[in-house]
Amino acid sequence: MSDDDIILKVTGLKTEFRAEYGLVKAVDGISFDLRRGETLGLVGESGSGKSVTNLSILRLVPSPPGKTVDGKVLFHAAGEGERDLLAVSEEEVRVLRGRNISMIFQDPLTSLNPVLRVSLQIGEALRLHHGLSRREARAKAIELLRLIGIPDPERRADEYPHQFSGGMRQRVMIAMALSCDPDILIADEPTTALDVTIQAQILDLIKSLAAKKRTAVIMITHDLGVVAGMCETVCVMYAGRIVERAQVDDLFYDPKHPYTRGLLDSIPRADRTGSDGRLYSIPGSPPSLVGMPDACPFHPRCARAMDICRKAYPPETLLEGRAPRRVSCWLHAKEGPKP
Amino acid sequence: MSDDENLLEVRGLKVHFPIHKGIIFRRKAGFVRAVDGVDFSVKKGEALGLVGESGCGKSTTAMAVAQLQAATAGSIRFAGEDLGSLSPKDLRRARRHFQIVFQDPYSSLDPRMRAFDIIAEPLRIYARLGIVDADEAEIERRTLSLMERCGLSTSFARRYPHEFSGGQRQRIGIARALSLGPKLIIADEPVSALDVSIQSQILNLLKDLRKDFDLTFLFIAHDLAVIEYFCDRIAVMYLGRVVETASAAELNKNPMHPYTRALLSAVPLPDPEKERSRRRILLKGDVPSPSAERKGCPFRERCPEAMERCAFSAPNLRAVAEGHEVSCFLYGEA
Amino acid sequence: METRALRKNSIALTGLAIVGVYVAAILLSFVWLPFDPVAMDTEHLLEGPSLATGHLFGTDEFGRDILSRIMKGASVSLVISLSATALGAVAGVLMGIWAGYLGGRWDQVLMRVADVLFSFPSLLLAIFVMAILGEKTYNVVFAIGIVYIPQFARVSRGAVLTIKSSEFVRAARSNGASSGFILFRHLLPNILVPLIVQVSLSLSVAILLESSLSFLGLGVQPPYPSWGNMLSAGRKVMVIAPWTAVYPGLAIVFLVLGFNLLGDGLRDILDPRLKNAR
């Protein structure tokens, strides 16, 4: 794999929110790479900063109170030069969103305009970015509806969002997101509001469509099961930082960070029964993101916490293996804290 | 199996909600058949899981069992008594034996009451009614010891709900449910609003309490993995009916109903290799509306194995092996 | 954190202080007034405020002392606004809770009646009620109270509906709580916040309504002073003697402000979500 393959390079991204009770460091200096055609999982519990990361990349952080204060988001489209999404003009970002980078959100009902016909909404992006005529856009919309497995697409194209079920609406969102053949699809908890059997349909759809077009996908989720089935690479987030990033097999079969390990051990597993034993559980709850000291944010809950964990945030350490992986934990750090 | 072993017995339970049209002149325009003929029983000391997707009627079933939702038809027998036939006074007396743990740790606690008062309230009500013999000192002793037992520091007793995290709030809800010393706990999605790391804390707590207080559970969840972890026996619901019941191990090893199989295959496993090798059964379409009048098997439109006869008559739940019941024509007449 | 709680509290304190000044003035007016508020004095017609004459706020076109009339009028205004709000609140809240808690047909009927009342502008409705009941001071209380009933009914019904469906009410029911217990223990405390906001708004609007009615000649009848009829009388001579209108007007403004600040502060103080920021 060459670095040419990297389509999105995020470095040192920091986003803060000014709240009444102080400064919330929602995303506190995170870095990761996304390669062409790769599916990357961004996994963490609520408040870990995974959704804010998504918003920051697309410059959609509501401001005020939020602000991306530092970092680079380098986007490298095929055949074009590298651009820092945080530095280009508002106009340029707007064009990139939708054409090169698309999003799907958790709640498909609020993401669709209730008073516009479905075909019109799907076709909108096509007309905007590809200059299709109204008729062409409608034809393309019907074709997309068929592609995502909506029965009787000619009739359904003229219906309104409330006439669609939750699963169908999410499929429409996916059709819209993929209608312009984007380079990157960001899916923010796309199946959290859906039932498992519908979730399976949706994930299957994302997977097959992305594979067909070699779209890179950032999958934001709290569900490690979804990550295991969908992603090649995984970033685990905790308290606004990425604590571990690795290939999916390495992460699941040999987690290095105590948080990742604890998380994996806490999940009840449908494929293992008869275990009379208890689940592992990480004691305590995630920290407040206000006024965090310079320390590992996980140390109060960590069974293997050492003195140093309370004194400094661990550097990201590159571990060699089948595939290179990174972990931010003093257990694996190669050097002590800088004085 | 003799009947007196069953702590809870639900037979032919139906809960239909009328749909009204018009604002000034309201008229009934039909029914939502949220629960449409449900049978199950829970033995003393057992944990029965009700699993199914949204709209399958599992929560409505739980609320009907808890006597918080009137049943349209059917009977709910608790410790041999038909709860539906009790006078309001007797029902009040009986209520302390079955308590609920709710899903939402935010809306289930009165924001204007302190943690201590929330947990003590049931005892105070029953003490005032003269059903439970406890003075304020005794109530305080019991409440504080319950807080401790549920993993809440007693120094938090005077705090308000908003000062607790989601997991701690759920502990308050659990302590409240235990304060009257119930026999049956109806847990309605008790962990689905919580993060993974908190979820396992609460599941462990419930498991410990179950053993220590000798509790029987009716455990409702949409997450099959959670149900399988916690429960001895599982009833799978679809569109207001139970389609299959079996022990947790049996259901996992040998799921029979096509819906159960699809459900099991759809649950994502946190295991990349298994995920890559398993074959998913993808169901067509969505769950049909529970308000439509229907003939035949409720699952037939989405069923990969639907036969001609499924359109004409609905199968009944019937035992196909020891402790394994399924309602599907694939497994013979019913 | 503490400064925030203090700042919120100081709002309530300011409001309380303003209302307190009025209450003190009213109490004082029972035992002592600078002048007789209804006695005419042809020697001192439309005199400007002056220390020398003792008419601190000046005199009106009949030579009556404005300050004395404002003090006397304060008790009228305050009593009317308090009792009208109390009437509207008690009747409206009962109606709203009844409709919200029981639901069904009663809810429909009660709320449609409220809708009809609600669809009239409040002043128009008050004028209508006054026209039926007759121009008596105590009828002003009824007129304003009736205007308030649907408003309080709406607010409390809405709050009851939200709280009724919350799980903690279900939990209380499953714990054997009776409807009455749930009402007083869980519903009322939780609808208190929207109610207090409504009460403080209503108190100040009642002052304005009473003044408007009196201004139109429907409320408190001359020669007895009320802020409204003082304004009404002052309007005619405002160009040559602005104090006749300005001082009653300011009296209204400050009391309305006081009630609003008090309501705002009380809401924060009573909300445990803000209280424990200590």
Q: Which two tokens stand for residue B130?
A: 């003269």
Q: Is B20 exposed, middle or buried (0-12, 13-18, 19+ CB in 10 A)?
A: exposed
Of all residues in chain B, the percent with pLDDT exceeding 90 is 60
Nearest-CB residue to B160 (from C174, C175, C276): C276
Domain B6-97+182-331 matching CATH 3.90.1150.10: the answer reads no
Helices C188-215 and C137-164 pack at an angle, to 10 degrees, of: 150
pLDDT of residue B199: 92
Does residue A262 belong to the interface with chain B, where contact is any CB pair within 8 Å? yes
Name the residue in chain B with its Cα closest to that of A273. B249
Chains contacting B with at least 3 CB pairs below 8 Å?
Answer: A, C
C-alpha distance from residue C20 to each of C16, C78, C225, C248 (Å): 6, 12, 21, 18
What's the one-letter identity of residue C15? G
Give the best residue of A236, A248, A271, A272 to mutate against chain B (max B CB count within 10 A): A271
For B295-324, how does the pLDDT look when each residue is reduced to its tens digit (9 = 90+)?
889 898 889 988 888 888 889 889 998 889
Closest C-alpha to A299, from A315, A290, A310: A310
Q: Which two tokens stand for residue A182?
A: 């984007």
pLDDT of residue C274: 59
Task: Compute the distance between CA of residue A46 and CA of residue B7 in angstroms, rounded to an integer.
Answer: 38
Each domain of chain C, given as residue ranges in start order, spans 2-277
Q: Which residues contact C253 (CB under 8 A, 6 or more apart)?
A: none
Question: Considering only CB atoms, which chain B residues are within 8 Å of A21?
Answer: none
CB C60 within 8 A of CB C242: no
Are β-strands A233-238 and A216-221 bridged in parallel, bridged antiparallel, or unpaired? unpaired
Highest average pLDDT, of A288-292, B212-216, B292-296, comes from B212-216
At C200 the three-state DSSP class reads: helix
Give the best residue of A279, A282, A288, A302 to mutate against chain B (max B CB count within 10 A): A279
Each domain of chain B, given as residue ranges in start order, spans 6-97+182-331, 112-180
Does residue A228 belong to the interface with chain B, where contact is any CB pair within 8 Å? yes
B286 vs A274: CB contact, 8 Å cut-off?
A: no
Does residue A276 belong to the interface with chain B, where contact is any CB pair within 8 Å? no
Residue B97 Rama label (left phi>0; alpha psi -120 to 50; beta): alpha
Nearest-CB residue to A222 (from B195, B203, B275): B195
Does residue B163 belong to the interface with chain A, where contact is any CB pair within 8 Å? no
pLDDT of residue B211: 92
Cα-only R_g, chain A: 21
Chains contacting C with at least 3 CB pairs below 8 Å?
Answer: B
Are β-strands A241-247 and A325-328 bridged in parallel, bridged antiparallel, or unpaired? antiparallel
In this predicted structure, the answer to whether residue C276 has a pLDDT above a threshold of 70 is no
Task: Compute the distance between CA of residue C213 and CA of residue C207 in angstroms, rounded to an integer.
Answer: 10
How many Å lie between the alpha carbon of A262 and the closest alpha carbon of chain B? Answer: 8
A170 against B325, higher pLDDT: B325
How many Å lie between the alpha carbon of A59 and the closest alpha carbon of chain B? Answer: 27
Residues paired with residue A216 on neighbouring β-strands, in sequence order: A184
In this predicted structure, the answer to whether residue C6 has a pLDDT above a threshold of 70 is no
Average pLDDT on B24-35 reads: 76
Question: Considering only CB atoms, which chain B residues are within 8 Å of C276?
Answer: 159-160, 163
Does residue B292 belong to the interface with chain A, where contact is any CB pair within 8 Å? no
Interface B-C, measured as beta-carbon pairs within 8 A, has a size of: 76
Task: Compute the distance between CA of residue A216 and CA of residue A213 in angstroms, rounded to an integer.
Answer: 9
C112 vs B24: CB contact, 8 Å cut-off?
A: yes
Fold (topology level) of C2-277: MetI-like fold (1.10.3720)
Banded model confidence at residue B327, pLDDT cuts 50, 70, 90:
very high
Q: Is A321 exposed, middle or buried (0-12, 13-18, 19+ CB in 10 A)?
A: exposed
pLDDT of residue C49: 82
Its pTM surpasses 0.95: no
Instruction: Name the A residues in 74-103 with CB < 8 Å from any B CB.
Output: none
Name the residue in chain C with its Cα closest to that of B160. C272
Q: Which residues contact B50 (CB under 8 A, 6 or more apart)?
A: B40, B58, B61, B62, B218, B219, B220, B221, B234, B235, B237
pLDDT of residue B2: 45
How many Å lie between the alpha carbon of A78 and the closest alpha carbon of chain B? Answer: 30
Banded model confidence at residue B282, pLDDT cuts 50, 70, 90:
confident
From A164-168, B246-250, C170-174, the region with the lowest mean pLDDT: A164-168
Question: Considering only CB atoms, which chain A residues are within 8 Å of B263?
Answer: 196-197
Instruction: Name the A residues in 183-222 with CB < 8 Å from any B CB.
Output: 195-201, 203-204, 222
Helices C227-237 and C243-270 pack at an angle, to 10 degrees, of: 140
How high is the mean pLDDT of chain B? Answer: 89
C-alpha distance from residue C165 to each of A298, B291, C34, C132, C169 (Å): 38, 22, 58, 41, 7
pLDDT of residue A337: 59
In this predicted structure, the answer to whether residue B132 has a pLDDT above a threshold of 50 is yes
pLDDT of residue A273: 47
pLDDT of residue C277: 41
Does residue C276 belong to the interface with chain B, where contact is any CB pair within 8 Å? yes
Please identify every stretch of chain A with a pLDDT value under 50, giving residue numbers as ranges: 1, 273-274, 339
For B46-69, how does the pLDDT look when each residue is reduced to its tens digit (9 = 90+)?
999 999 988 889 999 999 999 998
From A294-298, C34-38, C102-106, C224-228, the region with the lowest mean pLDDT: C102-106
Average pLDDT on C73-78 reads: 86
In this predicted structure, the answer to whether residue B73 has a pLDDT above a threshold of 90 is yes
Instruction: Name the C residues in 120-179 with CB < 8 Å from any B CB.
Output: 166-168, 170-177
From B256-265, C31-40, C267-276, the region with the lowest mean pLDDT: C267-276
Find tokens 């970033």 and name the residue. A235
B269 vs A168: CB contact, 8 Å cut-off?
A: no
Average pLDDT on B206-213 reads: 94
In this predicted structure, the answer to whether residue B239 has a pLDDT above a threshold of 50 is yes
A228 vs B275: CB contact, 8 Å cut-off?
A: yes
Are β-strands A241-247 and A316-319 bridged in parallel, bridged antiparallel, or unpaired? unpaired
Banded model confidence at residue C275, pLDDT cuts 50, 70, 90:
low
At B99 the three-state DSSP class reads: strand
